[in-house]
Structure 1
Amino acid sequence: MDIEQLRNYALSKPDAVEDLPFGPDTLVFKINGKVFLLAGLDNSPLQFNVKCDPDKAIELRENYPDAVLPGYHMNKKHWNTIVVNGQLSNKMLKEFIDDSYTLVKGKEKRVSKLK
């Protein structure tokens, strides 16, 4: 997976939007105003941050210590940095993005309409 494939996949998610709040070198993808993926444009190999269930995050870091790291500049309990170095399949990379999207989307605030 390269940065364009990552970008296209993230934007294929319903209601996903792209933003550059941290400057031109960091792509940020949001759902309902909440971040679900960050990707640096100047990293080689490609790296991106995704939200993850805390227990699953620990398991992934133990199983893939060179490809799944505690989230860089993020809450390390809830975020992983994924290094796209060939150790993880594109299917797994997409699953990480899917999981993050689902976790963040589930946190959207429900607004009740008063009559």
Structure 2
Amino acid sequence: MNGLALHKTAADCAEGLPGAQLGHPFGPDWEVFKVRGKVFMLMTEVPGRPVVILKADPGEALALRDQYSHITPGYHMNKKHWITLEGGEGVDKKLVEELVTDSYRLVVARLPRAEQPVDPHTYGTASGADR
């Protein structure tokens, strides 16, 4: 998947998530997706190529970086909790959608229960029912 397809796939996925909103708080070069005011995804071409920056569980982030050459520590973010995804070989629609949804779920899980638009423990899983 190339960088433009990566951005389109990630944006399409994010826009379909309950309560997700797109904004540009850092200017026109950054697309920032939030749920209930909390960032779960950023997209930009500032580093010279299209990238998607996502929240990730620290252990999972390490495993992803080991497994995929196109996943690196979060660009301008906490390197332990964020990853940067670029287009390239091995990056497909399923992986992008999985990473975007996982980032969203991690952020939703930190919201007060009354503000959670979905159950973060079951949303997007094969066995989970969305509330």
TM-score by length of 2: 0.77
Shift of 1:84: 1.3
Task: Map Cα deviations across residues 45-104 of structure 1 (whole Å, 9 max, x no partner).
Answer: 53110000000100110111x211000100000000001123222101110001000000
Give the direction of change, closer, same or farther, for the CA distance of 1:42–1:73 in structure 2 (3 Å limit).
closer
* Contact persistence 2:9–2:93 (CA under 8 A): no
Give the direction of change, closer, same or farther, for the CA distance of 1:50–1:11 in structure 2 (3 Å limit).
same
Q: Which runs of 5+ in 2 are unaligned?
A: 115-131
TM-score by length of 1: 0.87
Matched, 1:4 2:8: yes
C-alpha separation between the residues in 1 aligned to 2:56 and 2:101? 10
Give the direction of change, closer, same or farther, for the CA distance of 1:93–1:44 in structure 2 (3 Å limit).
farther
Residue equivalent to 1:86: 89
Task: Map Cα deviations across residues 13-51 of structure 1 (whole Å, 9 max, x no partner).
Answer: 001000000000100000010000000045665311000
Shift of 1:7: 1.6
C-alpha separation between the residues in 2 aligned to 1:76 and 1:5? 23
C-alpha separation between the residues in 1 aligned to 2:64 and 2:9? 22
Q: Which runs of 5+ in 1 are unaligned?
A: none
Once superposed, what is the RMSD of the aligned Cα atoms? 1.6
Residue equivalent to 1:109: 112
Aligned structure 1 segments of 4 or more residues deviating by more than 6 angstroms: none
